[in-house]
Structure formats: C-alpha cells, structure tokens
Chains A and B, each alone.
Chain A
Amino acid sequence: IAGITQAPTSQILAAGRRMTLRCTQDMRHNAMYWYRQDLGLGLRLIHYSNTAGTTGKGEVPDGYSVSRANTDDFPLTLASAVPSQTSVYFCASSDQAGRANEQFFGPGTRLTVL
C-alpha cells in the first residue's frame, strides 16, 4: 500500500510559468488537503476537498487552484508562479473531514521559483 504519492519530488521553476503538483492516494479517503510548509511558519492550508467533486479555500489560497475529479487525485496548480511560492508542498488525506480524524501526509514536493 503506497498511501499518498506526490510528484514531482522537487522542481525548479521560472517565475511566470504554470506548474501542476500531483497527488494521488490509494486509501479511498474522502477528504484531501494541500499544505505549504515554510520555515518558522509551520504548515498552512492552501485548499481542501471534503469529497470528490467539491473543493474549498484554506488559509492561503491566492495564486493556487485545485480540482477533485475523482476520489484518488487532487492536483494543485500554480497558474503563474512567483518567488513567494517557493516552499515545500504537502498533500494529505483523511477518511472523513471530522475534527477527530488523523491526516495522512505524502512525502512532499520541494518547489523553488526563481
């Protein structure tokens, strides 16, 4: 069982380019999340999806978009990357969106925008 996979592992991107970070889970979890991790700031939620076909904005959604066409996949798109989007991005999932649920995390994508 792989859990959550993310691709690419790392990427260097020129400012202004479009980039899609991929996330796939095989646990049949309903809820999925995208976080960014920055030194000294912990993890901040970008977007979430409680179930396939629905998405919502988290704490820092500007400059990012997501889609949830099916249960397993939850891609994150940067339409026009900027240097402030340099970060480590984590995809996570949980069985349900209740507040007692454990979230399972992928290995992360390290993105550098120049």
Chain B
Amino acid sequence: SYELTQPPSVSVSPGQTAKITCSGDALPRQYTYWYQQRPGQAPVLVIYKDTERPSGIPARFSGSSSGTTVTLTISGAQAEDEADYYCQSADSSATIVFGGGTRLTVL
C-alpha cells in the first residue's frame, strides 16, 4: 500500500525556521495537504494543493514541492506552533493517505 513518510519529530528554537518533509512516490502526481493538530484539538488545514494557504493561517506557514518530497516550512516558529503536523495525499486509485505525523517542538 502507498505510504507517506514524515520524520517523527522536529525541534526548533523560537523565531527560527522549521522544515517538515513528507516523501511519497505519487506526490508528483497528486496534491499534498498539511494539517496542524494541537494537543486535545481537532486538526486544522494549514496548506492545501502543495503551496496554498487558507485564509486565517499565518503567512509564516508555507509549502513547497520538489519531486517526490513536499515540505512544510514555518518561518519564525512561535510557541503556539508546537503541535503534530500531518501531510496527506492520495494514490493512483484515489485512496487517501496520511503521513505518520511529525511532532514539532518549539523550545
């Protein structure tokens, strides 16, 4: 079955740039979406269609794509950005897949 691979954890100091990667063979052919999930809360969409940012999401969140890897970048990470982040895409049969999630620590 198709898998998306994320690092389990990323750490960054406040004000620094955090990069979270997501790798998958089908990523060049399907859009990727990114969700933020703070402890005890429902996920929130932070990036859609690889690079687009929904209204209300701070400009410090951005997405990029290169080949089979997509990247979520948080420029100037803040304490409130500490959360789990999940990438999501689909395979060739339209089955939706989530990455395993990355715990972002801001300290």
Q: Do A and B bind each other?
A: no
Interface of A toward B, CB cutoff 8 Å: none
Chain B residues within CB distance 8 Å of chain A: none
